[in-house]
A and B are shown apart, each in its own frame.
With several copies, the nearest count.
Chain A
Amino acid sequence: MLKRVELVETWEVAKDVRAFRFDERLKFRPGQFLMVWLPGAGEKPFSLAGEDIIVVKRVGPFTSRLFELGEGDYVWIRGPYGNGFEARGKRVALVAGGIGIPPLYALARKGGGAFEHVTLIYGARSKDELALMDVEDYVDELIITTDDGSAGRKGFPTDVLAERKGEFDQVYACGPEPMLRAVLRVMDYEKVQISAERYMKCGIGVCGSCNLGKYLVCRDGPVFEGPQLRGLL
């Protein structure tokens, strides 16, 4: 059911990326998403970065409209929807690419207790696109990569994962599809949970837009176990 919430805080976390905190604390699992409606502008899905936070990259008219909003303004939400990550494994890697960070940020914060050692491997095109927020506080090890070498190691997060995969019981990944495919190949589809993305409209398993083979990302996902994705990603 749609609910109006008030923005209590918004701040820039990277170039063209803002965080929005609202006045409603949701019960959620990292990986779950919200549908956010801005009357007149549309309705889009956003992964929760926390019980009351979404982190949004400006990519089009909807997000531009959202970026105009500040404290005291309203947005309308429904959700959380989808399944979310299952916290599993002791030594784990979180592999994030670009604006794939929010669900992994949430996992680092919320799932942290279940893990013994968390390595975040986070890649972006360049330094100013890294939306780190305070994630360093919630992981044991942070490895940055950038495509252009402007921060951390030059290259992709999957380069790092390929070298160190033997260390991890479980890998959690979210980011652009080429990165997700690379993660799956590196892990040979085992010991990995992937938060996938498809064009989502209804968010509740009706319209079928977000199908990924026989799955719906909104209902069967957005988090998939590696083996589910064989032949699909």
Chain B
Amino acid sequence: MASLEVELFGIRFENPLILASGINDKVPEQWIRAHEEGAGGVVTKSIGIEPRKGYDNPTIVELPYGLINAMGLPNPGWRGFLEMVDGYTFDFPLIVSIFGGTPEEFAFLAEKLSEVADAFELNLSCPHAKGYGMEIGQKTENVYEVVKAVKDATDKPVIAKLTPNTDDITKLGLAAEKAGADAVSAINTLKAIAIDIYARRPILSNRVGGYSGPGVKPVALRAVYDLARTLDIPVIGIGGITTWQDAVEFLLAGASALQIGTALSLRGWKVFREISEGIERYLEGEGFSSVEEIVGLALEK
């Protein structure tokens, strides 16, 4: 039987499928359930300094090929987060997503949350929160500074989550790598909007939002392919992964692990097991014994 196990930055994952940040991952019970349902690891909702309520509804638009969302980074703040996880233990890797407005804020959060996080994912890419995410992460110098500050503040592995809303994502990846990031993850959502033709206005209360789901897959796959060709550190693939074939494409493009988000809304919890089983059948059918053997095979051609 082909092995689905992967190891990244010294952490073992039962399989390469990780619950993406911001999807059904508000509380510990949901993280535990994700693992029960077949996820190899979990990224939490992004945690900031202060509690945030998030935007008013509508916060999501359903499209034929995905979703546009502008949640507004709702989160309990780091204190609330620590209270929330108090007393829980997790038998799977828990990656804590953090966001801040400055390198210092990121570093502060990493320090405060190092006890509970197996690794950190830095949200340098949320496209719809003023002063956070993409607004910081579109500049290579900021990516560098934030990663560096966090690396100085924690011994835990650090993943820089990058934005595709840029001319060349590899520049952002190189900045993260140079600053000591242990991995990059890509992509966060694409800048988008939806307008209702009868209301004649943007649907989201925030007007604009981030696009995810099957429709962004070709863009995400390209980002992963470009990053994997350029960087030495591992790339975690995110963006529209909905079927096991999608997952295999990302692995072949150089992703060492994958995050699943929107597919969970489209297809339910079963998506983790379906994708895992599909990858396993593929590996066996094509004569591979481990998922790690196929990572990046399409880069050589």
The reply, when asked whether chain A contacts chain B directly with Cβ atoms under 8 A, is: yes
B-binding residues in A (CB < 8 A): 1-2, 4, 35, 37, 39-40, 42-44, 74, 76, 78, 201-209, 211, 213-214, 216, 219
Q: Looking at the complex, which one of A39, A42, A74, A211 makes contact with B201 (CB distance below 8 Å)?
A: A39
Q: Are B59 and A208 in contact (CB under 8 A)?
A: no
Contact for A2 among B29, B62, B71, CB less than 8 A: B62
List, sorted by A's number, 22 A–B pairs whose CB atoms are closer than 8 Å.
A2-B62, A74-B198, A201-B59, A202-B69, A202-B71, A202-B265, A205-B268, A206-B22, A206-B67, A206-B262, A207-B22, A207-B59, A207-B60, A207-B69, A207-B71, A207-B74, A211-B26, A211-B27, A213-B29, A214-B29, A216-B24, A219-B268
Contact B205 A42 (CB under 8 A): yes
Q: State in angstroms the CA–CA spacing of A216 and B23 once bound together.
A: 11
CB within 8 A of B24: which of A39, A206, A213? A206
Q: Are A4 and B24 in contact (CB under 8 A)?
A: no
Query: Taking the complex as formed, is B166 at the interface, i.e. its CB lies under 8 A from any CB of chain A?
Result: no
B199 on the interface (CB 8 Å rule)? yes
Question: Which residues of B57-71 are within 8 A (CB) of A?
Answer: 57-64, 67, 69, 71
Q: Which residue of A lies closest to B199 (CB)?
A: A39
Q: Is B203 positioned at the interface, with any CB of A under 8 Å from its CB?
A: yes
B168 close to A (CB within 8 Å): no
Interchain CA distance A220-B231 in the complex, whole Å: 41
Judge whether B289 is part of the interface by a CB distance below 8 angstroms: no
Q: Is B25 an interface residue (CB 8 A)?
A: yes
CB closest residue in chain A, given B24: A208
Q: Which residues of A contact B45 (CB under 8 A)?
A: 208
Is B62's CB under 8 angstroms from A78's CB? yes
| Residue of B whose beta carbon sits closest to that of A204 | B265
Partner of A209, one of B23, B74, B203: B74
| Chain B residues near A204 (CB-CB < 8 A) | 60, 62, 67, 265
Which B residues are in CB contact (< 8 Å) with A74? 198
State the 10 A-B residue pairs at the shortest beta-carbon distance, nearest first: A208-B26, A43-B57, A39-B199, A214-B29, A214-B33, A202-B60, A43-B58, A4-B198, A208-B24, A205-B265
Q: Is B196 an interface residue (CB 8 A)?
A: yes
Structural contact, B30 and A202, CB atoms closer than 8 A: no
Residues of B within 8 A of A208 (CB): 23-27, 30, 45
Name the prevailing secondary structure of the A interface residues: loop
Q: Are B57's CB and A42's CB within 8 A?
A: yes
The verdict on A214 contacting B32 (CB below 8 Å), with A44-B57, A207-B71, A209-B74 known, is yes
A205 closest partner in B (C-beta): B265
Q: Is B264 an interface residue (CB 8 A)?
A: yes
Taken together as a complex, chains A and B put the C-alpha atoms of A219 and B267 apart, in Å, by 11
User: A168–B58 Cα gap in the complex (Å)?
Assistant: 41
Interface flag for B155 (CB, 8 Å) = no
Please provide the chain B residues from 15 to 66 with a CB less than 8 Å away from any CB of chain A in the complex: 22-27, 29-30, 32-33, 45, 54, 56-64
In the docked arrangement, what's the CA distance between A211 and B29, Å? Answer: 9
In angstroms, Cα B265 to Cα A203, docked, is 10
Alpha-carbon separation in the docked complex, A66 to B189 (Å): 33
* Chain B residues, Cβ within 8 Å of A216: 24, 30
A1 to B64 Cα, complex, angstroms: 8
Q: Which of B26, B32, B56, B74 contacts A42 (CB 8 A)?
A: B56
Query: Nearest A residue to B71 by beta-carbon distance?
Result: A207
A202 to B196 CA separation, bound complex (whole angstroms): 17
Give Cα A37 to B57, complex, Å: 8
Contact B59 A202 (CB under 8 A): yes
Instruction: Give the residues in chain B near A201, CB-CB below 8 Å.
Output: 54, 57, 59-60, 71
Q: How far is the CB of B12 from chain A (nearest CB, A)?
A: 24
Most buried by A among B30, B57, B62, B198: B57
B58, B198, B265, B301 pick with most chain A CB within 10 angstroms: B58
Q: Which chain B residues border A76 with CB–CB below 8 Å?
A: 196, 198-199
A76 to B62, CA, bound (A): 13
B26 — which chain A residues lie within 8 A by C-beta?
A: 207-209, 211
Q: How long is the Cα–Cα vector from A90 to B58 in the complex, in angstroms?
A: 41
In contact, A206 and B23 (Cβ under 8 angstroms) = yes
Contact partners of A207 in chain B: CB under 8 A: 22, 24, 26, 54, 59-60, 69, 71, 74
Among residues of A, the one whose C-beta sits closest to the C-beta of B203 is: A2
